[in-house]
Homo-oligomer: A and B are copies of this chain.
């Protein structure tokens, strides 16, 4: 489905390195501090606001709401308000969101696997500049 949007006219091939390409925007959408974690968390199943806060550990209510709203806006996250009293809102991944979460889980595992190497490199780097 080739949308004839007013992109660059030679943008027949999507390229994240093209600043005018929407794919760049898509990448920046998940490039924040909480986006990847939220999506990874929701991969475990639908979650409520409080559950997400607990899962992420140190996210503020404001940032959680704000990021969720932006993810919902771009169709990655679905929000279901059960309209009960007290409120009950459930967040879950959309199909597109799920297609993304698979890759992000790989990223998570990369971080959990290699963080030691990074820590060591950082210490070495800092030590060399301290003297």
Residues of A within 8 A of B (CB): 1, 3, 5, 14-19, 21-33, 35-37, 40-41, 44, 55-58, 72-76, 96, 99-100, 103-104, 106-108, 110-122, 124-126
Contact A96 B112 (CB under 8 A): no
Would you give the shortest CB distance from A88 to chain B, in whole angstroms?
A: 20
Contact B75 A120 (CB under 8 A): yes
Which residues of chain B are within 8 angstroms of A40 by Cβ–Cβ distance? 16-17
Contact B125 A72 (CB under 8 A): yes
Which residues of chain B are within 8 angstroms of A55 by Cβ–Cβ distance? 17
Chain B residue at minimal CB-CB distance from A107: B103
Which residues of chain B are within 8 angstroms of A3 by Cβ–Cβ distance? 44, 116, 119-120
Contact A111 B32 (CB under 8 A): no
Q: Of the candidates B107, B119, B122, which one forms a contact with A27 in the assembled complex, judged by CB atoms under 8 Å apart?
A: B107
Would you give the shortest CB distance from A28 to chain B, in whole angstroms?
A: 6
Q: How far is the CA of A25 from the CA of B37 in the complex (A)?
A: 12
Contact A31 B29 (CB under 8 A): no
